[in-house]
Amino acid sequence: MRFLPTLLAASLMLATGAASAADTSTVIPAAAVQTATQLRDKAMADDTGYKIVASLTTEVGPRIAGGPADQRGRDWAIAKFKELGFDKVYTEPVTYPLWERRSEHGAIVAPFPQPLMLTALGYSAGTPKGGLTAEVVKFDSLDALKKASADAVKGKIVYIGFRMTRQKDGHDYGMGSAIRTQGPVIASKLGAAGYLLRSAGTDEHSRTPHTGVTGFTDPKQAIPAAALSNPDADQLERILAYGKPVSVKLDLDVGFNGSYTGANVIGEITGKKYPDQVVAIGGHLDSWDPGTGAIDDGAGVAIAMAAGKLIRDLPQRPDRTIRVIAFANEEMGLWGGRAYADKHAPDTVKHQLGTESDFGSGRVWRMSASVKPGAIGAIEQMAKVLAPIGVAYDAKRPGGGGSDLSQMHAKGMAALSLTQDGTYYFDYHHNANDTLDKIDPRDMAQNVAVYAAFSYMAAQAQGDFGSAPGAFSKDGAAE
């Protein structure tokens, strides 16, 4: 009864055709709890996850979707799944608009000429050859821009300077990413020539701008859009404070270039009792290009792969299949997650439970779930196994399934949220400092322990977690 109104819960049971009586609660058998506890303890002392993310970031490096390393990333994932002993390895194609970054420069032209460290945002338009110079108009917030008149904006470069602060749950990214995605679209509609923001990032002293996608969906709507590093945003704001007109030059050789077909890469540990029922976990294989995509999201791919490998190493296969998905192009709009959900929507009910890791490599500290009322007890059993390694169960929050798997959750897959400590995540997120040295192997091990233990218990559960078409459509309202 936590998140599902009674009526919805009742229709859910009808939808799943739960002939095995409405009062049957889902239970994790005692033997499975014991094995999950052993898996947890083994994973805490295991470095498989760290080795996988080291391999990916070293051997493939930056892997922007559709870029030169896209195919190498897929080849790496296929080979890694095989090397780890997964039973089945395959790909599913994902097609999306190709966006390319070739070069990017920025400078203050007047009143105090000097270079600016910036990076173009995904789906930004390029500037004309030789660059674009225009006066900057600053807005204090996204709301202020929404209320602006076209007269104030037309032909100018809009700038918004929202500064994110460090938080364990990273909630400032809600506003930071809204300014990055919605801001350029609003500015374009008002006739702006370009768009600049203070990076959606929490580092203070590093001239490393943070990239990320905009909300442009139509190349005709796109204008040049870029993020300044925090020190460069400070500099621009100091210059603006003189009260004189400030003009900036953007020289961005970026833009849309047709379409590209990549793929989700999937590895499975085949269930021995119900091979067609799956526990779905994963991360996204693509990264932004300035760094090597260690925390975003090499870590997530590695956590899920390592969890699958630990389950594979048990004396027997689990009852249900463990499916690990390395998603294509999450960064430019959940393309891999949407393709997966579209393809697998008819199998929603066969998705036992799922969630994706995509918030770095900090330790998991909170678990929440969107499951049918009769499965809450099983979630509480999982929580008991995870509590000794620092995971607190929050019964009041829904489970969103993570970034790409949120799309499958929206179709009706029962889902968890396993919230990681993101205190320092946005120091390195989407910038050149997202490299392997930011990952603590012990934190990785804790994440692997969480994923291995919960996945195994979900695979062994007697009963389901309530996956059914549309089962969790009220989730958003519950939060």
Within 280-309, the residues that bind Zn ion by CB under 5 A are: 296-297
For the CB of residue 291, give the shortest distance to Zn ion in the complex, in Å: 10
Choice between 134 and 341, CB closer to Zn ion = 341
Closest CB 91 distance from Zn ion, rounded Å: 20
CB closer to Zn ion, 299 vs 382: 299
- State yes or no: residue 268 binds Zn ion (CB under 5 A): no
Q: Of 297 and 319, which has the nearer Cβ to Zn ion?
A: 297
Phi, psi of 369 (to 5 degrees): -145, 145
Q: Which is nearer to Zn ion, 358 or 464 (CB)?
A: 358
Q: Which is nearer to Zn ion, 297 or 475 (CB)?
A: 297
For residues 106 and 115, the answer to whether their CB atoms sit within 8 Å is yes
Binding region for Zn ion (CB under 5 A) out of 99-107, 179-187, 355-363, 376-384:
355-363
Structure tokens at 369: 């779930």
Number of residues that bind Zn ion (CB under 5 A): 3
Q: How far is the CB of 184 from Zn ion (least distance, A)?
A: 17
Q: Based on CB atoms, which residue is closest to Zn ion, 46 or 358?
A: 358
Closer residue to Zn ion in complex, CB, 319/358: 358
Taking contact as CB under 5 A, which single stretch among the options 136-144, 332-340, 356-364, 448-456 is the one that binds Zn ion? 356-364
In angstroms, give the least distance from the CB of 292 to Zn ion. Answer: 13
Q: Which residues contact 129 (CB under 8 A, 6 or more apart)?
A: none
**In whole angstroms, how close is the CB of 270 to Zn ion at the nearest point?**
28
- Rounded to a whole number of angstroms, the minimum distance from the CB of residue 415 to Zn ion is 17
Instruction: Please state the closest distance from residue 113 (CB atom) to Zn ion, in A.
Output: 34
Nearer to Zn ion, 39 or 254 (CB): 254
H, E, C per residue of the chain? CCCCCHHHHHHHHHHHCCCCCCCCCCECCHHHHHHHHHHHHHHHCCCHHHHHHHHHHHHCCCCCCCCCCHHHHHHHHHHHHHHCCCCEEEEEEEEEEEEEEEEEEEEEEECCCEEECEEECECCCCCCCCCEEEEEEEECCHHHHHCCCHHHHCCCEEEECCCCCCCCCCCCHHHHHHHHHHHHHHHHHCCCCEEEEECCCCCCCCCCCCCCECCCCCCCCCCCEEEECHHHHHHHHHHHCCCCCCEEEEEEEEEEEEEEEEEEEEEEECCCCEEEEEEEEEEECCCCCCCCCHHHHHHHHHHHHHHHHHHHCCCCCCCEEEEEEEECCCCCCCHHHHHHHHHHHHHHHHEEEEEECCCCCCCEEEEEEECCHHHHHHHHHHHHHHHHHCCEECCCCCCCCCCCCHHHHHHCCCEEEEEECCCCHHHHCCCCCCCHHHCCHHHHHHHHHHHHHHHHHHHHCECCCCCCCCCCCCHHHHC
Minimum CB distance to Zn ion, residue 243 (Å)? 37
Stretch of residues binding Zn ion (CB under 5 A), selected from 256-264, 358-366, 455-463, 471-479: 358-366
- Which span (153-161, 260-268, 352-360, 458-466) binds Zn ion, by CB under 5 A? 352-360
| Residue with Cβ nearer Zn ion (70 or 297) | 297
Q: Does 356 bind Zn ion (CB under 5 A)?
A: no
Binders in 38-67 for Zn ion, by CB under 5 A: none
Q: How many CA atoms lie within 13 A of 306 on its CB side?
A: 32
Q: Report, in Å, the least distance between residue 404 CB and Zn ion.
A: 9
Nearer to Zn ion, 282 or 412 (CB): 282
| Closer residue to Zn ion, CB minimum distance, 64 or 157 | 64
Q: What would the two tokens of residue 296 be?
A: 């975003």
- When asked if residue 358 is in the footprint of Zn ion (CB under 5 A), the reply is yes
Min separation Cβ 287 and Zn ion, Å: 7
Report in angstroms how near the CB of residue 359 gets to Zn ion at its nearest.
8
Lookup: tokens for 220: 């005709």
By CB under 5 A, name the binding residues for Zn ion.
296-297, 358
